[in-house]
Structure 1
Amino acid sequence: MKRRAEEGKEETEIDRLPVDLLAHILALLTCFKDLAQASSVSRKWRQGVKESLARRERLSFSGWKVDDDSSTRLVLHAYSLKDLDISRSRWGCQITDHGLHQLSMANCIGKLCSVSLWGTTGITDEGVVQLSIVLWGCRHVTESGLLALVNKCGKLESINVWGMRISVECFIALLTISPALQIQPKELLPTSIDSVSIWPIA
């Protein structure tokens, strides 16, 4: 009886921490296993884990064995995410086209400035297309990056480049690589693009 009373007292003291302070502390954890254990302490701690994820601007699954569903559950709570690393290591994450499609529905997608898909052999052109790539706010993506993306993803149907500074030459080069590519929003397309000759890309 005494031991149970002491355990109850300890649990009460743990739960005295305000949720926002708890979330700030939990945000320092980088191990998903530790976060999972923390969320099982109590309902308040579970809420703290969710709020800590909501504050994160960077999330890396590299080196962690996560699948489509587990990665989606985490990203859905990371509302402020700007940098997402789902690259695969020897024992790392195993994201597929299905997972990429699920991630595309997360609230943070429009805020992302960097996404790493390095080594994720389970992702194909179909997955990238399903992601319906939106590059709004990707100020660090250059014309070289866009050209490489369209070059590698032959089945890419559309791309949203709102908020980016792209030259007429880059627009022409993109359409040369993929004539059927839909570049959104259409208002960004130069009015003179039809009158400019298109040259082959090496």
Structure 2
Amino acid sequence: MNCMMFIFFRPRSRWSCQITDAGLIRISYAKCIGNLTSISLWGLTGITDEGVVQLISRTRSLRHLNVGGTFITDESLFAIAKSCPKMETIVLWSCRHVTKNGLIALVGQCLKLKSMNVWGTRVPVECLNNLLIMSPTLQIKI
């Protein structure tokens, strides 16, 4: 039987959240993780690329990801590009450490990507224009 799985972590406040890389790594070993379709890690400042990459590498069915307000870098975006071919929407709101290289990898390999929120990133507008050339139907929210 196919099961759909959603993980949504909602911290009490952005600065007092207790979810860490160790928690994400433990979750990544759950038997049903391969069926995971949606994850929201919004505002979890206790996580880094270490936890995100471990979790993402085991989620082949992932379609929706919110990592807005975290400190991830291109390392996480490269892992998403490699492991999540079904990705449709991603929120990178205020992910100030991602660069054009990570976004290019993401758009180049996640061919089902429909929507991306990059508000508050430091990615130049000309890069976003290039992403639209790569994927004309992509909706980029800035």
TM-score interval, normalised by the smaller of the two chains: 0.5 to 0.7
- Letter of the 1:58 counterpart: D
- Tell me the TM-score normalized by structure 2: 0.58
Contact 1:86-1:118 within 8 A present in 2 as well: yes
**Alignment match of 2:118 (pick from 161, 173, 179):** 161
TM value normalised by structure 1:
0.43
Query: 2:69–2:94: 8 Å Cα contact kept in structure 1?
Result: yes
User: Is the Cα contact below 8 Å between 1:61 and 1:87 reproduced in 2?
Assistant: yes
Q: Distance in 1 between matches of 2:117 and 2:41?
A: 24
C-alpha distance after superposition, 1:168-190 (max 9, x if no partner): 321221111111111113xxxxx
Match of 2:25 among 51, 61, 69: 61
Residues 79 and 171 (structure 1), Cα distance of their counterparts in 2 relative to 1, 3 Å cut: closer
Q: Which has the larger radius of gyration?
A: 1
Q: Identify the structure with the greater strand proportion.
A: 2
Q: Shift of residue 104 of structure 1?
A: 4.1
Aligned to 2:11: none
CA contact (8 A) 1:85 1:116 kept: no
User: Aligned to 1:159, what secondary structure does the other structure show?
Assistant: strand
Contact persistence 2:77–2:105 (CA under 8 A): no
Which structure carries more relative contact order (alpha carbon 8 Å, separation 6+)? 2
Structure 1 CA distance for aligned equivalents of residues 42 and 92 of structure 2: 18
Q: Answer yes or no: is the 8 Å Cα contact 1:68–1:96 preserved in 2.
A: no
Match of 2:139 in 1: 182
- Equivalent pairs, count: 114
Residue matched to 1:111: 69
Gaps of 5+ in 2: 1-16
Q: Deviations over 1:82-121 (max 9, x none)?
A: 3233438xxxx74331xx35x847xxx4333324774998
With over 3 angstroms needed to count, the CA separation of the structure-2 counterparts of 1:76 and 1:151, relative to structure 1, is closer
Please name the residue that 2:85 is paired with.
125
